[in-house]
Amino acid sequence: MLDRLTGLEVFAKVAAAGSFSAAGRALGLSQTMVTKHIAALEARLGVKLFHRSTRRLSITEAGRSYLEASERILADIEAAEAAVAADRFEPRGLLRLNAPVSFGTRQIAPLLSEFAQRHPSVTVELGLNDRLVDLADEGWDLAIRIGSLSDSSLIARRIAACRTAVCAAPSYLAARGHPRTVAHLPKHNCLGYTLSRITGVDRWAFGARGEIAVAVSGNLRANNGDALRAAAIAGQGLAYLPTFMVADDLRAGTLVALDLDQPTVEFGGIYAVFLPDRHPAAKVRAFIDFIAHRFAPEPPWDRDFVPPATGALATA
């Protein structure tokens, strides 16, 4: 079966050129193939598109009507192809970006004004949640993910380290004492994050590879780090959190990073992930390049940060 779109192109070219042979030369087709395309169109439509004679080719009334529709269709297709091609080179359109709640609120949202100034033709839709979204099924262009990546079908770019700290408010440490080793942690009120295997509700991991497991317990567990941070600042207990959440509190002194005998675990890294595509849209490339530049060579929350003496927050 001959391609219907090519048939439209052949028909429009024949009408413009006034002959099958001239249309064939313009399209790089043989006259025989041009004839087959026109014959297939006429058979499908059930009408004659051209009057043919040995000396002259003229378009029929039905052909003129069909030509108007064909030219509109071909123009729309050309415009659509041009728009898609432009999206590969010029950042524009709607960028649907998904990020974890705390990281998106604290580290992504404040940068969006600067990104908008640099790329005024891009509109960002920021979705915030802590579950792993399905980029294809839910229509996200890009997602920020923290920790070890398990979905190998996605393209990932590491944009920052994700360092961590065990911290507490000065008021808690004054009342309950300052733990110096991980062995002391079970005696303390440890606030648990329900979505993490590293800083969970009953086990915290330490060591360069997370090989040291410490049994912990506490009177608060939550699926959002900001809730644990707020509770820790209020003096409720110890929290094991990424530094992108607590670095400002540690600088301000509202939280204190514990100097333990074992280093905390780095959360694998912070990544921008997107669906595999040989030519990702310019809006996707532009945003990844933008945040990678803003977070290099060290993310802003860790700049000028003094880690505990054990080196728990040193780059792995």
Tell whether the model's pLDDT for residue 303 goes beyond 90: no
- Do the domains 164-257 and 93-160+275-299 match in fold? yes
Per-residue pLDDT band at 88 (split at 50, 70, 90): low
Mean per-residue pLDDT for 52-63? Answer: 84
Least confident span in 15-24, 72-81, 201-210, 247-256: 72-81
pLDDT digits (tens, 9 = 90+) for 3-24: 788 888 888 888 888 888 888 8
pLDDT of residue 307: 56
Tell whether the model's pLDDT for residue 85 goes beyond 70: no
Least confident span in 79-93, 227-241, 252-266: 79-93
pLDDT of residue 267: 85
pLDDT of residue 68: 87
Homologous superfamily of 164-257 in CATH?
Answer: Periplasmic binding protein-like II (3.40.190.10)
Tell whether the model's pLDDT for residue 306 goes beyond 90: no
pLDDT digits (tens, 9 = 90+) for 129-166: 988 889 988 999 999 999 877 767 888 999 999 999 99
Tell whether the model's pLDDT for residue 84 goes beyond 90: no
Mean per-residue pLDDT for 288-296? Answer: 93
Tell whether the model's pLDDT for residue 120 goes beyond 70: yes
Closest residue by Cα to residue 230 from 242, 218, 243, 246: 246
The reply to whether CATH 3.40.190.10 applies to domain 93-160+275-299 is yes
Residue with tokens 């360092």: 163
Tell whether the model's pLDDT for residue 79 goes beyond 80: no
pLDDT digits (tens, 9 = 90+) for 209-240: 889 999 999 999 999 999 999 999 999 999 99
Per-residue pLDDT band at 312 (split at 50, 70, 90): very low
Whether omega before 297 lies within 30 degrees of 0, making that bond cis, reads yes
- DSSP for 132-190, please give it: ---HHHHT-SEEEEES----TTSEEEEEE---EEEEE-HHHHHHH----SGGGGGGSBE
Per-residue pLDDT band at 316 (split at 50, 70, 90): very low
Token pair listed for 222: 């939550």
Does the pTM exceed 0.95? no
Per-residue pLDDT band at 315 (split at 50, 70, 90): very low
Average pLDDT, the chain: 88
For residues 288 and 278, what is the distance between their CA atoms, to the nearest angstrom?
16
Per-residue pLDDT band at 55 (split at 50, 70, 90): confident
**Which CATH number describes the domain made up of 4-86?**
1.10.10.10
Token pair listed for 180: 């110096």
Q: Tell me how far CA of residue 261 lies from CA of 166, 179, 207, 211, 212, in angstroms.
A: 12, 10, 10, 14, 11
For residues 246 and 238, what is the distance between their CA atoms, to the nearest angstrom?
12
pLDDT of residue 311: 41
The pLDDT > 90 percentage for the chain reads 52
pLDDT of residue 1: 52
Domain boundaries, the chain: 4-86, 93-160+275-299, 164-257
Considering only the C-alpha atoms of the chain, give the largest distance between any 2 of them, rounded to a whole number of Å: 106
| First-last CA distance in the chain | 60
Closest residue by Cα to residue 119 from 254, 247, 290: 290
Per-residue pLDDT band at 259 (split at 50, 70, 90): very high
pLDDT of residue 58: 87
